[in-house]
Each structure stands twice: as C-alpha cells, then as structure tokens.
Amino acid sequence: MTSARRVPAFAELPAMAEAGVPGFDVAAWAGIMVPAATPKAVIARLNAEVNKALATPALAERLPELGLQVAGGTPEFGEHIRREAARWAGVVKKAGIKADWSRQPAARGPWLTTRGSRLVADGSQ
C-alpha cells in the first residue's frame, strides 16, 4: 500500500510510513469530468447525484471490499487535478517520461501505461 494510512480492505498490509518510508503518500484517484462549457447547474446536479449514489448501501459496502476508499467530492475536482499535476510534474520531467499518442485509438479514451521509464498510450485494457 502506498498511501499514508492503511487501507481497510488490506488491513494486514502496512502503510508506507509504517514500512519505514515516512511522508510517502501516493494514491490512485478517479473522478468524472465534463466539457468546460457545461452549465454550472448541470455540474452541481451531476455532482449531487454521484455523491448520492456513492452513499447508497450497495456502493458504500461494495467499493471498500474492492480496496477503494470512497470520498465523494465537490464540483471543484479540477483543483485536485491541478494539484496532482503540479505534484508530479518534476518527477515526470526528471525521469524523462513522454506521452506517446501514436498508438491512440481514435474511438476510445487514452489508456496510459509505462514501458521502462516511458509513458505510452495503450488501447488495450
């Protein structure tokens, strides 16, 4: 586990600080994005509905069983993305990681994987 705290679904695995790497906190995250021109009322409604769905007993029970820590959120998800981009920009630059979009399937979103120290788009799942 690479987070600052233990993940309940994997409670037997120590967090990074417990494993001797204090200050290390890397967690995967996911969110929903919409086009920039989406009306604020639509964004607010979508956000409310997603948060409501995440709070349902079915998801509130099942997602943690899969090792996911569900937080819900606010429409300001873009701020989180900007903070994460700034956080990792130096790592990407220092490692020389480049995006290779030449394999990008036209009809699907990008799937980014690493090959060595190179980040590449991969259409496979």
pLDDT tens digits, residue range 24-44?
A: 888 888 888 888 889 999 989
pLDDT tens digits, residue range 73-95?
A: 777 778 888 888 898 898 889 98
Global pTM value: 0.61
Task: List, as one string, the DSSP characters of the chain.
Answer: --SSS--GGGTTSPPTTTTT-TT------------TTS-HHHHHHHHHHHHHHHTSHHHHHHHHHTT-------TTHHHHHHHHHHHHHHHHHHHT----GGG--TTS---EEEETTEEEE----
Query: What are the tokens at 41?
Result: 């009322």
